[in-house]
Amino acid sequence: MAVDGLLLIDKPAGPTSFEVVRQIRRALKVRKAGHLGTLDPFATGLLPLALGAATRLVPFLEGLDKTYLAEVELGKETDTQDATGRVVAEHPVAVSEADLRAAAARFVGEIEQIPPLYSAVRHQGRRLYELARQGMAVEARPRKVTIYRLEIKEIRLPRVVLEATCSKGTYMRTLAHDLGRVLGCGGHLAALRRLAVGPFPVDEALPLAEVIHHPDLARERLLPLADCLPFLPALQVDAREAARLAQGQPVAVPPPAGGLNGRVRVLSGGRLLAVAEWRRDPRGLLLAPVRVFPQAPE
């Protein structure tokens, strides 16, 4: 049985994201597999895996927003900006709820982050964490990210629990560190759980151990290719149109009643045939394939 689709994993603390992929490949006997965004070893929560033919969907999935539940410990800064690092500075914590809310509000919207020294960001071809482990402290260039929502869920000083929805590339460790700096007492990320990736919630994920011990259950819960891009409108085509699209040729298809809306997922017989987009042509409005899945299973 082909294993093609998205598998939602609830990652425990401990393994790296790469190790989770390795374990799933072995348990489900699948050759191609990849994840949609790294979770640090100490973090838990949603780790969507693209298996088999679904790996070809990764370019359409890797930019999805992510939602986290983060516990920040104020008063202590670490060299990794999280609880796995060495404490490098300590300060008293004398902040009010109003201080916390005012500081958190400063991070909503487009902001600049300097990736932490212990991160996979590259500097002159090498990972920052490799340089840091060799004692070479190189500061990465600031990067623009977007915090769409940042809510304070609980205050138990010196700890604060935040829920954030953010863009790809956002470091929650850095957010915790920068929040502590704004408050004047320092801080680091004490715990992290990913709650969602785009439209996929952790509530629908399977614990890693359950997948390892019950691979048949994982196969049953696999999201088929046709359901892997729910944020794209679905468009059904007939056999003639499907044959042309499968060959990479555009077709003249009436747009949906709601009008044009960027890319669509093209379905034929319940299968994902292609991801396509509307293009204007001297011949009129055409639906042109961006990526074709002629052998996509049901």
10 is catalytic: no
Identify the active-site residue in 4, 10, 40, 82.
40
Residues 23, 59, 147, 208, Cα dihedral to 10°: -10
Q: Which residues are catalytic?
A: 40
